[in-house]
Chains A and B, each alone.
Chain A
């Protein structure tokens, strides 16, 4: 369990097991928590995410080889979202990394894949030179997200965030411990993530919640974390890919820096050249409905082509609290993945009219 387990229980959270962690799925209601983040602010315990610190003279080479994106060692605190691929170009995990200073690289893999990522990087490090891994699972990460999050966090932690740009990280002394604060998150709203040692977890959590509550901030569980990221079309590791899809299929070519050599590059080049692969696309249902992972996407009834032919598969879906309609992310045949295409999602053997739309489902503001 995380350092904040007692706080969750005190707040009446419904707890679930997730990747070996006991995590809050919801405190009050997924809908209310979701709308609080879109309208004012929410606070999340995401301490289950891994926090790896890499040091040694081989780190720069390792990082360059392991990730699709590139990281500027001489620009500490600049964060990048990246994919980590196997030799076939399939995504092992997605994560955010940053050089904390010229010596230390900090990377945050997903909870269920942290050990895999550690092992994979360890394997690659063997050919890169000296690399030391530090991983303390007791460390906390608290996300503070939403339009009111900046003011709340500044007051609660007595910190100036006005100079902190998007996807930048700073180091701050909070409650007697060294913490990192970054402008980042998984909700698509202006927001922050605070990382630090377990001892500071409850101090940060309670200070922020105390300052935020009068402004409508609520604690938010994994349930709303999922609906929030889905409205913004963010990938979920283990669900939208599990070492079976490439960044090209996931429609994430923007995380690939083609002008460096990384594991999986040749496979991606071949795939890009050949084309004809399914693309991860946003599908909006005409009505309410809950598309679940595994639901088939098929050719709609009015189409001249063979009706009912499968053209894709849903990997994530929910009812969007903002749009009040069913939304799904699905890998669709290339020729059916363009926004504007009409498709049907099959739920319990019934076809529901839907259309491929531009990502994300919910735009800013």
Chain B
């Protein structure tokens, strides 16, 4: 270790790591210049220096819970340079690429992103780098955002509020009538006719209240159904547009619960909560006014517990909200397991693991129960305290009001009126407590919903290029990693001419499926470009591009519906004879006709009513009808018997004609007809050529074929 005393150097890259020399959490700096790289310790000492001219390559070596930059020197020695947490791994990985560029004497061309790790406002770490701080996000914004779902139904919502207001106003009348009856008829013994007149008015009030309630109920039903549907649609639409990488990180059950549980909570609040918030607020004000008019001293006395109720409500707000958020999380976990257990029911049964799955279910169910009980217990405790305060209000009325009646300061009628209003004033106040719970649940649900809605979508609207594609595909220096610090495709370059069939070959993990994923633009390259017909494919409108790409997978996914609907999935407007023609080309027509309902046969969930070979041929028919310019065959014949494979091969031969085709097959003999084979190893091309050329070359492909034929022989002997 030496103290830096050298003259200032032209530093090209400076990165600060968060792991110190001894593995402790401490800053360490990496500096890269044109001549050397060095690491600097906190005290300014230089702990390592390597000349760029001595470097053979640089890479990010994944460690457990972090990474380490390693330099391989030209003398073969591997030098660990600097360790860092996973938070910083992508930046250091990009830096390693830059070091390799400098070592190769090429211009430095890297992009090290400097994303914010902390919130600028509160300083908290951000859950998503450069993302929104969930603490600083405006709560009112969330509230108004969910209230925005009422906008298409403004008329109905206002009607509901108006109906509620009318109900409120009408509800204020009976206590007045009660007081009037007691004072005028029972106390002063005036004309008995007043009794019947007053009761007549009361009866009218009751009828009007009932009519108002019916109208309000009907409006609520309409609003509830509509808003629930809108919310579910909004979440589902957001899910449909999400990046594929989102689904890599989240489980299906967890997403499903947002479409069901969380949307339910939000619409419940919107439909039941918001209109009643308005009407109950006015009811509270109206009653307060009536109480003050009746006797202001008594009014102030009976409403003394109100501030306490408000304080209690405010205190319990946060904790109850958190508990209901936890309930939402438990629901997601519960859904996740339920989804998995149902989807894999055959596997569960075949391995006789019903008891284990039941045990797992009990555990999830137990967690949900515990969380639910905890949240509800807290809520009902607060509710109980509220009830106590309500009761104390009535007691105060009997003490203070009773004394006033006894001292002739107020009439018995006024006392009864106040007593009735107390029940009514504390009703809305208790309801505000309910609102707290309602609001907490709804906000928790809304946040989980908006987490999906706000997640980064695929770049659908990025560009608007809709050209007819011929099918010339060029990969130029493409680099990509699911984890940005560990590229699985590294500098991939090749050209596929229109109509050419390219076979992608390599061991598992070589990068074949990733190449296909990039081609489908499920992911975009981290570096380099993919062009189609000499235009960067990112310039194309995403759906326009995908309409030109067809995929036949090893385990084709069919939707629950008829065979005809599945074949026409990509072109629903296709005529029946077009569907039949596609099925004929896919060698599927024959077996379809053999079924009782022919093309109207229901395939069941995921096509469960069909055999693997049948599903495969329907997926080929689907691809034929889709008529893409670029076709991807991903292990399309690997899961079927020999006869079915022959039929599928014939179908595929029809399908690939005139299309640029990329085929992956572990059974290498099935790629014999490919125009060229690209052999991948660790994300790089190691060989390109025809089947025969590569066999003659006796390189990597030759060894793969040889190994496979040996394995096949062993399996045959085993059989």
A and B are partners in one complex rather than unrelated chains = no
B residues lining the A interface (CB < 8 Å): none
